[in-house]
């Protein structure tokens, strides 16, 4: 088996979460890589949607942004942004949303707005974009983020996208009928919300990673499930597909394609 990096393990583990039947709202960056690896391996019939309005897109290279022409050029069809959100997303036609974020808390709420005080932040982040609506209206949400104390924090300074709120049945109390985050895939492990409390719990640990590493890289007292498995390592084909699409993307964005 070939060597692989923690980020490659994270992307491939995330890709495996998707199925042929999914209609997936894709975020830019790591979520986009995972979704397209799934499309090019075990889920060729997956429908990928980006918030610029492209439906059924099959990019040959990963997009720089939702406005990347590659998405429209390879889409089955393109609709207006209002139609994308009002009909497709809010209409309940999207099974899965794939998101990332700058920060996450133990209940899978995401922050992409500010680090520090809102009025005088240490860092001003890009903002929510369509993520708050995706988090609320997709059937379920998968999240990809590298595990670090900077990103996995005890308390968010700002909640941009609703996960499980304060835990328990908070989503239900707010009138949300979708599942919310069901899996968080990191470079060290996979977390899933506890069935009752909705607190993120480690259910799978990647090969070569210790529990101590996970504890050291999380900003809260992270919990482990009663039965924790080892994440299957990437196959040769999964690694080849992921590396090929990154190589094509690099050549295209450097103007060599």
Instruction: Answer yes or no: is pLDDT of 257 > 60.
Output: no
Find the DSSP H helices in 24-99: 30-40, 69-73, 81-83
Instruction: Answer yes or no: is pLDDT of 105 > 60.
Output: yes
Q: How far apart are CA 233 and CA 146, in angstroms?
A: 17
The gap from C-alpha 16 to its chain's centroid, in whole angstroms, comes to 12
Pairing of strands 23-26, 47-50: parallel
Q: How far apart are CA 75 and CA 49, in angstroms?
A: 9
Domain boundaries, the chain: 6-252
What are the tens digits of pLDDT across the range 72-83? 999 999 999 999
Residue 111: enclosing H or E segment and its boundaries?
strand 110-111
What are the tens digits of pLDDT across the range 148-193? 999 999 999 999 999 999 999 999 999 999 999 999 999 999 999 9
CATH 3.20.20.70 holds for 6-252: no
Find the DSSP H helices in 41-137: 69-73, 81-83, 131-137
Q: What is the pLDDT of residue 254?
A: 82
Catalytic residue, from 51, 70, 133, 199: name it: 51
51 is known as an active-site residue: yes
pLDDT band at residue 212 using 50, 70 and 90 as cut-offs: very high
Q: What is the pLDDT of residue 228?
A: 98
Q: Do 85 and 129 contact (CB within 8 A), yes or no?
A: no
pLDDT band at residue 256 using 50, 70 and 90 as cut-offs: low
């Amino acid at each position: 088996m070939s060597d692989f990096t923690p980020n490659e393990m994270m992307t491939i583990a995330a890709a495996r979460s998707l199925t042929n039947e999914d209609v997936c709202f894709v975020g830019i960056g790591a979520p986009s890589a995972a979704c397209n690896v799934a499309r090019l391996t075990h889920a060729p019939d997956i429908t990928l949607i980006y918030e610029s309005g492209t439906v059924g897109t099959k990019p040959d290279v990963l997009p720089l942004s939702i406005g990347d022409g590659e998405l429209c050029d390879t889409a089955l069809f393109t609709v207006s942004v209002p139609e994308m959100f009002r009909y497709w997303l809010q209409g309940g036609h999207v099974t899965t949303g794939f998101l990332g974020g700058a920060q996450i808390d133990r209940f899978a709420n995401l922050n992409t707005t500010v680090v520090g005080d809102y009025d005088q932040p240490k860092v001003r982040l890009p903002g929510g974009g369509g993520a708050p609506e995706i988090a609320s209206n997709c059937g379920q949400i998968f999240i990809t983020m590298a595990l670090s104390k900077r990103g996995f924090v005890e308390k968010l300074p700002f909640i941009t996208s609703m996960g499980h709120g304060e835990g328990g049945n908070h989503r239900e109390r707010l009138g949300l009928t979708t599942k919310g985050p069901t899996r968080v895939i990191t470079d060290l492990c996979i977390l899933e919300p506890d069935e009752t409390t909705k607190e993120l719990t480690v259910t799978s640990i990647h090969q070569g990673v210790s529990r101590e590493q996970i504890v050291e890289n999380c900003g809260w007292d992270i919990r482990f499930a009663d039965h924790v498995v080892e994440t299957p390592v990437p196959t040769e084909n999964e690694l080849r597909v992921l590396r090929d699409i990154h190589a094509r993307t690099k050549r295209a964005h450097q103007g060599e394609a």
